[in-house]
Amino acid sequence: MQPFRLADPDLAALGAGRPSPGTLALLRRAQLSRHLLLLREIRLRAGRNPRWYDRLHAMPPGESRDRIADPMTGLWAAQVLSALRDETAPACTELPEIAGQALSVTHAGRALTVRLDDRGPLRHLLGLAPAEPLTPAEVARWRDSLGEAWRILTTRHPGAADIVEGVLRVIVPARPDPRAEGVSATSAAAFGAVALSAPANGTSLAVALLHETQHSVLNAVHGLFELVRPDDTLGYSPWRDDPRPASGILHGVYAFLAVTRFWRAELRGGSGAGEAAFEFARWRAAVHESAGELLAGGRLTAAGNRLAGAVRDEAGPWRSEPVGAEVERLADLARADHHVRWRLRNLTVAHGDVAALAEAWHAGRAAPVVRSVVTASPRVVEPSPRLRMIRELLRGDPAGPAHPGDAAWVRGDAGAALTAYRMGLGKDRDQERAWSGLALVSPHPALRSRPELVRAAARALPEADIADLAAWLSGGERSCTCS
């Protein structure tokens, strides 16, 4: 059997977000080979030729190849083989019919054709609840949005259009999440298939398709060689509200490299300057910093380091490109807000360490050094009211109802924000928004860098002033001894 190989220059170019047509073709061939191996294993376990095997052999060669290469065939085969290996699980061993309808769009002589799968039985396996079968009017809206997205990509992002054209084969309409502006997902078993909620416009669809096809590309690369060493450690990802393994963080870094490049090109082309500048400034730092942390963390293989290094090198020069002081400020605020809320949601201090803190406080000693522990929590979508306010400010929209601390924070009045958040915690020490807000504007390093630690101490010492606790945990002296 001939192995698939990716030369180092090709891997570096792919890591930088610029895979060549030859690299994309290699990944497609590798995925076809994977599907064939899965089907062979299923046939061998059946002990005879299943009906799907005879059906595929009865097709013309080109049609059979396309059917085997289809993303949903890979998804079905992976599911069936997993069920067969688990002898207690039932397996649907008949290859489902291809359902859905073709959407074809063309701009400037470049065509994109995908299948809009709104009826197939495997749609739910892409990770999102599928939408109900579409009406003709809904199909027309999808076609219009895809046409606009394709026009944007081919006109202003030709390299991105090459990737989408080379990877995307199936779009599965998904149910919207009222807490999010849009949801999308892919599966490692379905190269070229994307689940998406109905897009708001062509720009949002272009970004979503580009983002998700990057996941497909990285999944295919991971199928050729390991990128991450086995490790159960979970950490922070700027794109998720839950703790993520190194593989998930690498996926986020790679996908958002493409998203950042998209907004950079939009900004340089003068399209949507406010939104483009903010998104570019927001994600360029996140991509560069996260790639650097992966490289320093020792959890990547040599190939993973090569890929992450190419990402970091690509994003590094972008950090010096001007976007305007106000946009930079708002982008910094958005990143800080996400990081603080993530820490408060996902990091805890062990009960014994909290007791040691309380004992040291009562005894008037310096605060002991304690660790914060990542707690695995289910994924949730936690929309940030502060991010909503930032977007309103950028668009020039009338401000909606807001916490007074948040309003002051967004406009840059840290003093007023600090007062408002302190008042909130004075009434209720479990106010999540007040804790995250206080961490954003506090003068005390412990609150800014480890808000979960200060919160744990404050809950254990309800009689103590939070500012005094924050100063003490930051390494300062106590102003009084409480007993």
pLDDT at 273: 73
DSSP 3-state of 311: helix
pLDDT at 262: 97
pLDDT > 80? residue 1: no
Two tokens at 348? 């805890």
DSSP 3-state of 204: helix
Give Cα 316 distance to the centre of its chain. Answer: 20
Q: Please tell me the distance from the alpha carbon of residue 231 to that of residue 209, in angstroms, as a whole number.
A: 30
Q: Please tell me the distance from the alpha carbon of residue 353 to that of residue 453, in angstroms, as a whole number.
A: 10
DSSP 3-state of 348: strand
pLDDT at 88: 63
Please report, for the chain, the start and end positions of each structural domain, with discontinuous segments joined by +.
226-322, 325-473
Tell me how far apart the terminal alpha carbons of the chain are, to the nearest angstrom.
75
Residue-wise pLDDT tens digits, 199-210: 999 999 999 999
Give whole-number Cα distances, 71 to 13, 102, 128, 451, 475, in Å.
Answer: 25, 15, 16, 44, 56
pLDDT at 152: 97
pLDDT at 428: 82
pLDDT class of 298 with cuts at 50, 70, 90: very high
Residue-wise pLDDT tens digits, 18-47: 999 999 999 999 999 999 999 999 988 887
pLDDT class of 363 with cuts at 50, 70, 90: very high
Give Cα 254 distance to the centre of its chain. Answer: 10
Residues 6+ apart with CB under 8 A from 331: 278, 281, 282, 285, 323
Say if residues 162 and 213 touch (Cβ distance below 8 Å).
no
Q: DSSP readout, 224-279?
A: HS--B-S----B--TT-SS-B-HHHHHHHHHHHHHHHHHHHHHHHTTSSHHHHHHH
For the chain, give the mean pLDDT: 91
Residues 6+ apart with CB under 8 A from 226: 301, 303, 304
Say if residues 11 and 53 touch (Cβ distance below 8 Å).
no
Residue-wise pLDDT tens digits, 372-390: 999 866 666 677 899 999 9
